[in-house]
Structure 1
Amino acid sequence: MRSLVAGLAAAAVLLLVAGCTPSPKVPKGDGTIEPLIFMAIPSQRPGPLEESFQPVLRMLEHETGRKIRFREAHDYAEVIEGVRTGKVQIAELGPFSYVLAKQQGARITAVVARVTQKGDIPEYQSYGITRVNSSINRLADFRGKKICFVDENSASGYLYPKAALQDVGISVERDIVPDFTHGHDLSAIAVSNGQCDAGFAYNTIVDRRLLVQEQLKPDELKVVWKSEMIPGGPMVIANDLPATLREQLVAALQQKANADYLRANGFCEGACVIADGYSYGFGSLDDAAYDKVREVCRKVGEKSCEKA
């Protein structure tokens, strides 16, 4: 009997201990334990792109207490799909890819876009470029030539150039040979090495980045066309994130995602080049800024623009 009592007592103690042991944490349906996924359109090759965003991502981790994982995108469509399906919670989209993502039902909010200098308006231009010794001197001369574009979902690398070519009577489908490089840097380099007769890339790539990186020489390319100003590609956050987390992300991006703050707080050193490698940081904007992109989208008659 004493043995039986002792056995029951021991079993009771074990049950008591088991009942007091914390159960392992299980990820919740709202993803509060899983890392946040960040993705950016591939405006340049993946390695430098990921590196240039690290100061901002480290700051966001510090502000939110959440791990943020950079995920490489192979083209613009992959980023659009990521935010549309909710698999990507923070992303930098291009102006056109943002319009398309919203059209396709992505539940996202535009928060900020890149600025080169403190106080700048977040906007930029598309350049039409060719080699400096080329006989091409205007968009009308692009007819019959092999032309480098960036991506069919790019504003400065396709949408605005297509509209400009239409204005001079050139059809992208019939009057030129298009070549999509899937990177603004790759488009400019393809023109410089003769892969294309002419092409398009955004202004900072041509004016600064590739020159500083010594991938282009100062006298190698000439600009034969400049677009109107285009609203900068927005950094967006998913609407389905918890409200407090969304507020933290918005405040951090609007107030602290700049070289001054990042340098002063140890997230980067020296020149503190961020985002595309030569930006000061980000400036605030909202969805209404992209109405002009929607207008150009409808103008070119793209099927993807019909409901934009």
Structure 2
Amino acid sequence: MMNRRQFLAGIGAAAALGAPARLRAGAAFRLGLTPVFLDNDALVIDRLRAALGQAMGAPVELVQRRTYQEITAAILDGSVDAAWICGYPFLQHRDALALLGVPVWRGRPLYQSYLITRPDDAARSLGDLRGRVHAFSDPDSNSGFLVTASDLARMGETPERFFSRTIFTYGHRNVVRAVAGGLA
């Protein structure tokens, strides 16, 4: 399994091999980040930038975009050198992208998704949310859309039929805000 340092070193090595002229010219390596990285997580973002820069021996510029689609477009058009994206956009464009690494948590790859309600809500399962308004994060997000859509498919349902209405908030934090504010 690959740990965080190996992942960053791998990105650095792949980027150095793929863009030697750019790095020799002193241009910053541009890493695209999806909305999973929150603007107010400045310490985490700065540590990521510093660790990657140290592994590469070159300056690193982190580029954040509002949607998965925007950051996927940036990696495809070359306006970023690499991007931290989830699995679905990678699979959609696997012929044009190369997998450099997978994050590892406590020694293994880990991916989680949480279904949340307000504390006073009686719902205890996805089935209890039938006919309600549901907030998704992003249509290209594994945890923010595809996990729930997949669970519904196993129930013979689609989000459009199961929920009375669905909205996309384009950010996991925005989903939490929508639920806390009673919008979903």
Is the shorter-chain TM-score for this pair beyond 0.5, marking a shared fold?
Answer: yes
Whether 2:99 is the aligned partner of 1:109: answer yes
Q: Quote how far apart the aligned CAs of 1:81 are.
A: 0.9
Q: Name structure 1 gaps, 5 residues minimum.
A: 1-27, 197-308
Report the counterpart of residue 169 of structure 2 in structure 1: 181
Whether 2:123 is the aligned partner of 1:143: answer no
Q: Distance in 2 between matches of 1:59 and 1:195?
A: 39
Q: Distance in 2 between matches of 1:47 and 1:143?
A: 34
Alignment RMSD, CA only? Answer: 2.2
1:163-174 alignment runs, 5 A limit: 163-174=150-161
Letter in 1 for 2:22: G
Contact residue 149 and residue 187 of structure 1 kept, 8 A: yes
Report the counterpart of residue 98 of structure 1 in structure 2: 90
Whether 2:123 is the aligned partner of 1:133: answer no
Contact residue 35 and residue 67 of structure 1 kept, 8 A: yes
Q: Name structure 2 gaps, 5 residues minimum.
A: 1-18
Q: Distance in 2 between matches of 1:67 and 1:100?
A: 30
Note closer, same or farther for the CA distance 1:101–1:52 as it changes in structure 2 (3 Å cut): farther
Bigger relative CO (Cα 8 Å, ≥ 6 apart) = 1
Note closer, same or farther for the CA distance 1:65–1:193 as it changes in structure 2 (3 Å cut): same
Contact residue 39 and residue 72 of structure 1 kept, 8 A: yes
Report the counterpart of residue 33 of structure 2 in structure 1: 40
Note closer, same or farther for the CA distance 1:175–1:60 as it changes in structure 2 (3 Å cut): closer
3-state secondary structure, aligned to 1:135:
coil
Whether 2:44 is the aligned partner of 1:57: answer no
Letter in 2 for 1:121: R
CA offsets 1:247-304 (integer angstroms, 9 cap, x no match)? xxxxxxxxxxxxxxxxxxxxxxxxxxxxxxxxxxxxxxxxxxxxxxxxxxxxxxxxxx
Q: Distance in 1 between matches of 2:178 and 2:47?
A: 30
Q: Distance in 2 between matches of 1:92 and 1:163?
A: 23
Note closer, same or farther for the CA distance 1:62–1:125 as it changes in structure 2 (3 Å cut): closer
CA offsets 1:169-207 (integer angstroms, 9 cap, x no match)? 3321233211111112221232122121xxxxxxxxxxx
Q: When you count strand as a share of all residues, which structure comes out higher?
A: 1
Report the counterpart of residue 31 of structure 1 in structure 2: 22
Contact residue 44 and residue 186 of structure 1 kept, 8 A: no
Letter in 2 for 1:31: R
Letter in 1 for 2:102: V
Letter in 1 for 2:162: D
Q: Quote how far apart the aligned CAs of 1:84 are.
A: 1.4
1:65-80 alignment runs, 5 A limit: 65-80=57-72
3-state secondary structure, aligned to 1:124:
coil
Q: Distance in 1 between matches of 2:109 and 2:173?
A: 20
Identity of aligned residues (%): 24
Q: Distance in 2 between matches of 1:112 and 1:134?
A: 36
Question: Which structure: larger Rg?
Answer: 1
Q: Quote how far apart the aligned CAs of 1:31 are.
A: 1.9
Note closer, same or farther for the CA distance 1:45–1:57 as it changes in structure 2 (3 Å cut): closer
Letter in 2 for 1:155: N
Q: Distance in 2 between matches of 1:191 and 1:114?
A: 29
Q: Quote how far apart the aligned CAs of 1:29 are.
A: 8.8
Letter in 2 for 1:181: T
Report the counterpart of residue 178 of structure 2 in structure 1: 190
Q: Quote how far apart the aligned CAs of 1:141 are.
A: 2.2
Q: Quote how far apart the aligned CAs of 1:53 are.
A: 2.3
3-state secondary structure, aligned to 2:31:
strand
Contact residue 29 and residue 81 of structure 2 kept, 8 A: yes
1:117-266 alignment runs, 5 A limit: 117=106, 120-176=107-163, 177-196=165-184
